Structure 1
Amino acid sequence: MLIQKGNVLLFEENGFAVRDIRVEEGKIVEIAPSIPPREGETCYDASGKYVTPGLIDAHSHICISEEGMGDVGDDCCDYSGSLTPELEVLDGLYPFDRAVAESVRSGVTCACVCPGSDGVVGGVSSVIRLAGSVADRMLVRRYAAMKCSLGENPKCAKHGFASRMGVAWQFRKCLEDALDYRHSKEEAQASGSYFKTDRGMEHMLLVLDKKMPIHVHAHRSDDICTAVRLAQEYDLDMVLVHGTDAIPVADYLAEFSYPVIVGPGMTPRSKHETWDKTYETAGILHKAGIKVCITADHDVTPLYFLSVYAGLAVRHGLDEIEGLKAVTLNPAQVLGIDDRKGQLKAGLDADIVIWSEHPFACKAKPEQVFLEGTAV
């Protein structure tokens, strides 16, 4: 397939440039100012259109909190305890969530699906492509992150503690249990003794060994700083999720390398820790030197308006190219899938969206979406 004469988003060019794109077997194989079509090759005329990578949301509950299904379709939180690192979203994914098809039609091709935020350590998040009928075959990265939470949600979930101190201790306890588990496992291996493995602790060893980051739900500035404190104490790779009240501590956050997944913005200030919600947050964090992603936090706000949320962040101060990166390249990097997704580049998956206008224009809509080279 050959996409011709589109305004192609190229981050190395810091914007859009007229290019042709050749796709073979689900991969981008060539991007150039002009590529002669081969005999019999399918050609798509993108003249005057805007061409971007498929959009990516780094924090979502699509397929695990099913749209329109209420409690029956809500598998976000297990409520069996405050520490459930043994859980995996893969075991709760429903590929036929009605939001999937609409999200793809809106240009979103990939999402990191996460457990909910009422547990302190909630379980393993996975990155999926938004196509398919079998969850296992939708996987892009199974062990993408360990979902953790601080603040009002776990504090008020009636797990037997009722303070932010208790939440932080539960977090530390899970890590301390994992350290003890590793010691016992190493001793058993050295002696040749039988050792009973624990699925949750094995997942936490991936965290301690920096093979899997933690994604920490934190809205309020003090919870954000607690997340930093915990990540520093245990030398963890961390991504902050929401960062709603991050502006007062932006300079402090800039001393570290923790990305922030900002959002959702299109909701009322429904609880105390979101009182200072503003679309200016993403731009201010970026200017402070922090890598920013934009999230819909589906189904809190619909994933199929992800481009709108990024556009609103641009309207409120985020650089336009950074706004595009916040829903493409940045989440791909944060999720560890940038070797496959996130930009238009030879060798990467052909997740391609052809827009009628600039993606942030109020009348823009995807005219064609390709997911790994297949028209959707």
Structure 2
Amino acid sequence: MIIIKNGKILTMAGQSYDCACVAIDQGKIVSIKDWIEPNPEDEVIDASGMIVMPGLVDAHCHLGLWENGIGFEGADGNESTQAITPQLRAIDGINPLDISFREAYEAGVTTVMTGPGSVNVVGGQFAVIKTFGKRIDRMILKNPAAIKVSFGENPKKGHGEKGRMPVTRMGIASLLRETLIKGTNYQAQKEAAMQEGNKHFDTDLGMEALIPLLKGEIPLKAHAHRADDMFTALRIAREFNLKITLDHVTEGHLVVDELAEENVPMIVGPSFGGRGKFELKEKTFKTPGVLANAGLKVAIVTDHPVIPLYNLINCAAFAVRGGMTEEDALKAITIVPAEIIGVSDRVGSIEVGKDADIVIFDGPVFDIMTKAQYVLIDGKIVYTRRS
């Protein structure tokens, strides 16, 4: 076993310990107590004066799909040759050997939801993965985890400038509705064929990808910065009775009263950087706090590589400066994103039975000088700071 002793433990499950121990065995958390007596064969980590908390979780990024430091050769996030591509699977484009993975887990980010970019109206299938490993198949927590759809400037620009639909926001909504209708019809036809014992039903990979969405097993992951785009996404989700998350939510603070009535998960960010397009003109670190204070479920994200994943904790710190409570900001990078992306039974908090994904910080979590001293993923020490 591994025993972490003498640390201040932030479980993110409603309880904290000023000085306690965590026992880990076979990749899982098996005990949390004020004191656990180690056996001679146990590996002991002394976390005296340090903070022990669950590994950080980013609910929206593109890790492994845009590789660090290269251009076209490592750009695998947008299949921009057509606007509707639900059949694309993030796991087929991810390179776990990209340096960004190591930078992520060394900063304490242990789980991410990653997938296609936002050029296409329907971009494909997101997956939830751990950040440590060599082979993506062994890093997957959930796949597929969502179907990515995009509203606003990106699909308009990515396809409209090539002289094809969509050129307008009306075109985006129309293409999405058309795709969902086709998926609904395909699902009905497939079910009828199976009941009739038709073994020669023609499989359509794109339509197959929509079935978990239409069944309510995974959400529509809606890229929407502007308020009007958010409401279009919500309108379409209601029409087809779909689960949905709103991702980016840049103008969310302007319409918080309306969003509070919807009560859907808010995945907010990236808030670092400039305002490189018109729909970012209202970008502010105040947004996460405004939404959380209204009772909404809020996750803070980097949108890596837009903001490198190792800055996730800094994004949360700036949200605190913008008015979010420290407790809500900590939840927004741990248990809340884990809940939103459907893996809170495994990660996001320090609880008995969960994966031993743990980060040990040498100071206050939101202090810019604080560093991760140890990081564990699946009960394995994947990083130890040497200086």
Q: Same fold (TM over 0.5)?
A: yes
Coordinate RMSD, CA, aligned: 1.2
User: Gaps (5+ residues) in structure 1?
Assistant: none
Distance 2:362 2:60 in 1: 27
| Deviation, structure 1 residue 104 | 0.8
| 3-state SS in 2 of match to 1:223 | helix
**1:248/1:90 CA distance change after superposition, 3 Å:** same
| Deviation, structure 1 residue 15 | 4.9
Query: Structure 2 counterpart of 1:184, which letter?
Result: Q
Counterpart in 2 of 1:224?
Answer: 230
**1:186/1:241 CA distance change after superposition, 3 Å:** same
Deviations 1:107-165 (A, max 9, x none): 11111111000001100000111111111111111111111100111111124221000
Counterpart in 1 of 2:220?
Answer: 214
| Conservation of the 8 A alpha-carbon contact between 1:15 and 1:321 | no
Q: Please list, as runs of the form range in 1=range in 2, the aligned pairs for 1:331-350 lying within 5 A after superposition.
A: 331-350=337-356
| Deviation, structure 1 residue 17 | 3.1
Counterpart in 1 of 2:104?
Answer: 103
| Conservation of the 8 A alpha-carbon contact between 2:78 and 2:118 | yes
Deviations 1:288-314 (A, max 9, x none): 111000111100011011111111111
Counterpart in 2 of 1:11?
Answer: 12
Distance 1:187 1:48 in 2: 63
| Conservation of the 8 A alpha-carbon contact between 1:85 and 1:200 | yes
Q: 1:165 and 2:178 equivalent?
A: no
| Conservation of the 8 A alpha-carbon contact between 1:10 and 1:17 | no
Q: Please list, as runs of the form range in 1=range in 2, the aligned pairs for 1:125-136 lying within 5 A after superposition.
A: 125-136=126-137
**1:111/1:12 CA distance change after superposition, 3 Å:** closer
Q: Please list, as runs of the form range in 1=range in 2, the aligned pairs for 1:189-338 lying within 5 A after superposition.
A: 189-193=194-198, 194-338=200-344
Q: 1:363 and 2:364 equivalent?
A: no
Query: Structure 2 counterpart of 1:209, which letter?
Result: K
Distance 2:137 2:40 in 1: 37
Query: Structure 2 counterpart of 1:265, which letter?
Result: S
| 3-state SS in 2 of match to 1:254 | helix
| Conservation of the 8 A alpha-carbon contact between 1:111 and 1:128 | yes
Runs of 4+ in structure 1 over 6 Å off = none
| Deviation, structure 1 residue 186 | 2.6
**1:13/1:123 CA distance change after superposition, 3 Å:** closer
| 3-state SS in 2 of match to 1:255 | helix
Counterpart in 2 of 1:92?
Answer: 93
Deviations 1:213-257 (A, max 9, x none): 111000001001111111111111111110001112211111123
| 3-state SS in 2 of match to 1:203 | helix
| 3-state SS in 2 of match to 1:252 | helix
| 3-state SS in 2 of match to 1:168 | helix
Deviations 1:49-87 (A, max 9, x none): 011111111111111111111121011100121110011
| 3-state SS in 1 of match to 2:262 | coil
Distance 2:299 2:140 in 1: 21
**1:197/1:77 CA distance change after superposition, 3 Å:** same
| Deviation, structure 1 residue 14 | 5.3
| Deviation, structure 1 residue 92 | 0.5
| Deviation, structure 1 residue 13 | 4.0
**1:40/1:14 CA distance change after superposition, 3 Å:** closer
| 3-state SS in 2 of match to 1:200 | helix
Aligned length: 376
User: Gaps (5+ residues) in structure 2?
Assistant: 383-387
| 3-state SS in 1 of match to 2:105 | helix
Distance 1:30 1:161 in 2: 54
| Deviation, structure 1 residue 16 | 5.3
| Conservation of the 8 A alpha-carbon contact between 1:14 and 1:321 | no
More displaced stretch, 332-341 vs 158-167: 158-167
| Conservation of the 8 A alpha-carbon contact between 2:8 and 2:16 | no
Distance 1:74 1:11 in 2: 36
Distance 2:274 2:239 in 1: 34
| Deviation, structure 1 residue 40 | 2.5
| 3-state SS in 2 of match to 1:157 | helix
| Conservation of the 8 A alpha-carbon contact between 2:54 and 2:357 | yes
- The TM-score normalised by the length of structure 2 is 0.95
Deviations 1:161-215 (A, max 9, x none): 2100000011111100001112221332233333111121111111010111111
Query: Structure 1 counterpart of 2:378, which letter?
Result: E
